[in-house]
């Protein structure tokens, strides 16, 4: 409980570090994928990169929401908080949709704007009726992504494919833990730290998978 008390005392600093870490991992992945896209025009790179860019934007918004919520109450801030919540849910949903689309775009040629329309619809429903809409949709897409990435792993059985599959399963577990956070933290407050640890682990694994070869290449 000692570390949890420290977390509560310095919550803002902790949130800032946590957000900075997520932004570093996700934006590094995005930069790598978009470099490859600009060189090859292979759409898979673009969809993959867009997924992580969306997550980075979502986490930047999440941090800003935390600041607005902490500010003295004013109607303009509450309107801002609602708009920011829609933007947060929208970008989080885009992350899942783009991630799955990067895996299936060759077989299922959906028009890209449909991903945005679906994400926006879920975001509005989540703000109006509760975040369950976002969680259910993202659990479904991450379960699907886990199956597809496992199938991909079975083809070549490479280490990176295995790690990516693990990251997808952790992603599913992370969204599940996030959805249960309000209930579990009632009885066990430090649970929030585990959720943060899972989230960081997911992006650390994917960051390693994406940049590992590049680091070796520059040795």
Element (H, E) at 213: helix 191-217
The widest CA-to-CA distance across the chain, in whole angstroms, is: 57
Identity of the residue, 28 or 161, whose beta carbon is nearer to other proteins in the bound complex: 161
Identity of the residue, 131 or 149, whose beta carbon is nearer to other proteins in the bound complex: 149
Identity of the residue, 59 or 164, whose beta carbon is nearer to other proteins in the bound complex: 164
Kindly state the smallest distance separating residue 51's Cβ from other proteins, in Å.
Answer: 10
Look-up of token digits 């599913």: 172
Kindly state the smallest distance separating residue 164's Cβ from other proteins, in Å.
Answer: 6
Kindly state the smallest distance separating residue 90's Cβ from other proteins, in Å.
Answer: 24
Residue pair 215/34 in contact by the 8 Å Cβ criterion: no
Identity of the residue, 156 or 219, whose beta carbon is nearer to other proteins in the bound complex: 156
Kindly state the smallest distance separating residue 139's Cβ from other proteins, in Å.
Answer: 20
Kindly state the smallest distance separating residue 158's Cβ from other proteins, in Å.
Answer: 6
Residue in 122, 113, 163 with CA at minimum distance from that of residue 141: 122
> 146 φ, ψ to 5°?
-65, -45
Residue pair 19/63 in contact by the 8 Å Cβ criterion: yes
Q: Give the binding site for other proteins (CB under 8 A).
A: 33, 36, 39-42, 44-45, 47-48, 102-103, 148-149, 152, 156, 158, 160-161, 164, 209-210, 213-214, 217
Identity of the residue, 93 or 103, whose beta carbon is nearer to other proteins in the bound complex: 103
> What distance in Å separates the CA atoms of residue 205 and residue 212, rounded to the nearest whole number?
10
Identity of the residue, 44 or 66, whose beta carbon is nearer to other proteins in the bound complex: 44
> What distance in Å separates the CA atoms of residue 75 and residue 212, rounded to the nearest whole number?
48
Kindly state the smallest distance separating residue 24's Cβ from other proteins, in Å.
Answer: 20
Residue in 155, 148, 68 with CA at minimum distance from that of residue 101: 148
| Cβ partners under 8 Å of residue 44, min gap 6 | 102, 105, 106
> What distance in Å separates the CA atoms of residue 200 and residue 21, rounded to the nearest whole number?
8
């Amino acid at each position: 409980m000692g570390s949890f008390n420290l977390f509560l005392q310095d919550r803002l600093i902790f949130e800032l570090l946590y957000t900075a870490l997520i932004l570093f991992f996700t934006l590094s992945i995005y930069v790598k994928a978009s470099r490859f896209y600009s060189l090859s025009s292979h759409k898979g790179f673009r969809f993959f990169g867009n997924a992580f860019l969306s997550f980075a934007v979502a986490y930047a918004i999440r941090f800003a929401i935390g600041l607005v919520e902490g500010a003295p109450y004013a109607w303009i801030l509450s309107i801002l908080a609602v708009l920011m919540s829609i933007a947060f849910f929208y970008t989080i949903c885009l992350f899942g949709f783009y991630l799955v689309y990067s895996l299936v775009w060759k077989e299922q040629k959906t028009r890209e704007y449909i991903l945005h329309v679906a994400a926006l619809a879920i975001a509005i429903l989540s703000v109006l009726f509760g975040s369950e809409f976002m969680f259910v949709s993202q659990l479904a897409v991450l379960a699907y992504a886990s199956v597809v990435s496992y199938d991909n792993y079975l083809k070549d059985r490479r280490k990176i494919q295995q790690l990516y599959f693990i990251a997808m399963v952790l992603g599913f577990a992370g969204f599940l833990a996030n959805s249960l956070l309000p209930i579990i933290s009632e009885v066990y407050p430090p649970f929030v730290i585990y959720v943060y640890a899972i989230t960081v682990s997911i992006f650390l694994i994917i960051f390693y998978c994406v940049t590992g070869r590049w680091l070796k290449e520059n040795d």
